[in-house]
Amino acid sequence: MPNASDTRPASRRGAAARPVPDGAGTAAAPAAPPARRPWGRVVRLAALVVLAVLVLAFPTMAPNAYILSAGIVVLSYACTATAWNFMGGFTGYVSLGHAAFFGLGAYGTGLLIRDLGLPSFVAWLVAGALVLLITIPVGIAALRVRGASFVIVSISFVLILLLVFQAWGSFTGGSDGLVVPRPFPDLLRPEHHRTFFYLFAALLVVMLVAWWAIDRSRFGTGLKAIREDEDKAQALGVPTRNYKLVAYVVSATFTGLAGGMYALWFGDLDPIFQFSIMLGSYMVLMALFGGVRHLFGPLLGAVVVGTGLEYFKLEFGDTQFHLVATALLLGVVVLFMPDGIIPAAQALFKRFGPQDSSIREMTAAELLERNRAAAAPAEGEPTAGPTTAVVPQDGDGDAAPRPRTGQEEDR
């Protein structure tokens, strides 16, 4: 049975509709999509400004050189987690072997300075380019598999590099390590830490801008389609193999640059740490903790997890209890916030914050006017047949006699 909100002409309905009398109440009607609130963008911009001010002011607020060096470690974690997110966040491919690119960037920078005498930051850039070139054939081979097989391939790659760099002592220093000359030999330790804090922050900004640009591009849309369903994306015409390879190369290159920056800052490289699976696991943990689908997810995860790691190492010394604490932290996130902190906080705000109404109120007079306009014959249509779509009511609320058509009068 048609109701009062039916807008079809009477000639197309089986029965006439009875409208709601004027002033009898209100009716719900679909509303247009709510406009984007400008204050949301203002809040995000204000938060970004506050974050930038805190980062820039941290070296001056740090009470001692140890706290400042811990801040550099956290920033290096943020760089590696954000670099990993170019692959893991966009495509959904989980790599536990990204420490291989971190180690290649670190050792490449150190070896270019030691053997070729290149300036520190020139060697850093050249090492990043070498990581890019090495990643192309590695990516072509590794991306032929998916899921758990890809994880195993990534672990195998980092273990192979660990054995090579540890055994090739005449070239890499082996277990004795590799000493990288400092790029600023005249600076004292606090000034040295402060300089590299800003350098790591600048590298992180470049990564965040690149991630933001890809996220809003057609290329990023294709990567996210691969993440959701690779087979369907390929069926729709997305060149999945090329897209995955580009994301893999970009992710590896940024990871290599982060490793090279770490080598210039720390100055002492050890293959057991540079090619550690634990380092790759930390990248994954930090990105998952904050939220892999969010721009600042890996950064937030690095701040929380990196700070926790430094605190646990300081409290528990040389024991492995910091790994237990990290595992417990990961378990809490997986159980209660599987998508990360930022998506969980956004969902909580949407649940308890102001709600957008999906309907708007329409008065009976507006509804009656709309029904009358809809019942009027459209321009160019024949006027034969019923001439009214709404049955008016008399003062007692009963239906008034319906106007007769010409055919009824002839009968």
The DSSP secondary structure of 269-334, one letter per residue, reads: E-HHHHT-HHHHHHHHHHHHHH-TTSTTHHHHHIIIIIHHHHHHHHHHTTSSHHHHHHHHHHHHHH
Q: What is the pLDDT of residue 213?
A: 96
Residue 243: both structure tokens together: 């897209």
Sign of CA dihedral 202, 205, 207, 209: negative
Q: What is the pLDDT of residue 410?
A: 47
Measured between alpha carbons, how far apart are the two ends of the chain, in Å?
Answer: 29
The DSSP secondary structure of 92-121, one letter per residue, reads: ----S-THHHHHHHHHHHHHHHHHH---HH
Residue 273: both structure tokens together: 């740490």
Q: How far is residue 381's CA from residue 102's CA, in Å, rounded to a whole number? A: 74
Q: In DSSP terms, which residues pair with 361 in a beta bridge?
A: 28
CB atoms under 10 Å from CB of 257, counted, come to: 26
What are 73-121's pLDDT values in tens digits? 999 999 999 999 999 999 999 999 999 999 999 999 999 999 999 999 9
What's the half-sphere exposure (Cβ side, CA atoms, 13 Å) at 134?
Answer: 19
Q: What is the pLDDT of residue 1?
A: 45
pTM (two decimals):
0.76
Q: What is the pLDDT of residue 354?
A: 60
Residue ranges for the chain with pLDDT beneath 70: 1-40, 317-318, 353-362, 377-411
Q: How far is residue 43's CA from residue 48's CA, in Å, rounded to a whole number? A: 9
Q: What is the pLDDT of residue 235?
A: 94
Strand ranges, E, within 35-192: 178-179
CB atoms under 10 Å from CB of 390, counted, come to: 16
Q: Which residues are within 8 A (CB) of 350 and not within 5 positions of it... i.e. 6 or more apart?
A: none
